[in-house]
Amino acid sequence: MNNSIVIKGLLATLFICTFATVVVMAQKPPKKAEVKIQVSGNCGMCEKRINAALDVPGVMFSSWDRVSKTATVAYKPRKISEQKLHELIAGVGHDTDKVKADTAVYKKLPGCCLYRDNANTHWD
């Protein structure tokens, strides 16, 4: 067999394997991600509720800042999506920049936690 044919065959095989590896690797989400989510709320009870909602598998860390109204969330995209994070927060009555909480759930929040229509009933 001609050596150049063998070499060309090996190079073609190497190229195909490398290309396939790159394609497979490009499709996997990263192991870890961090996102900042705008979350409406007023007080320490809101903070506890928001962080408790994010205490699920796939979330490694969450912290809501009352002043900036921003939740910082470190999570595993292979286990939970960013959209799901928004849904979890909205599910406990807090609007995010992507998902609005159901009005019935919002109305069940303590008075100091009501934030819509410029409600500010918390004086601390």
Residue 124 lies in a domain: no
Residue 106 lies in a domain: yes
What is the span of the domain harbouring residue 110?
33-118
Give the chain's domain count. Answer: 2
Residue 51 lies in a domain: yes
Regarding whether 58 and 15 lie in a shared domain, the answer is: no
Residue 124 has pLDDT above 50, yes or no: no
Regarding whether 63 and 19 lie in a shared domain, the answer is: no
Tokens of 85: 């994070």
Mean pLDDT for the stretch of residues 21-37: 76
Higher pLDDT, 77 or 16: 77
Regarding whether 85 and 59 lie in a shared domain, the answer is: yes
Regarding whether 104 and 52 lie in a shared domain, the answer is: yes
Provide the pLDDT for residue 23.
Answer: 53
* Dist. CA 111–CA 106, nearest whole Å: 10
Cβ contact 102:89 at 8 Å: no
pLDDT-derived band at 113 (thresholds 50, 70, 90) equals very high
Mean pLDDT for the stretch of residues 97-115: 96
Regarding whether 68 and 22 lie in a shared domain, the answer is: no
Regarding whether 81 and 59 lie in a shared domain, the answer is: yes
For the stretch 79-90, pLDDT in tens is 999 999 999 999
Residue 25 has pLDDT above 60, yes or no: no
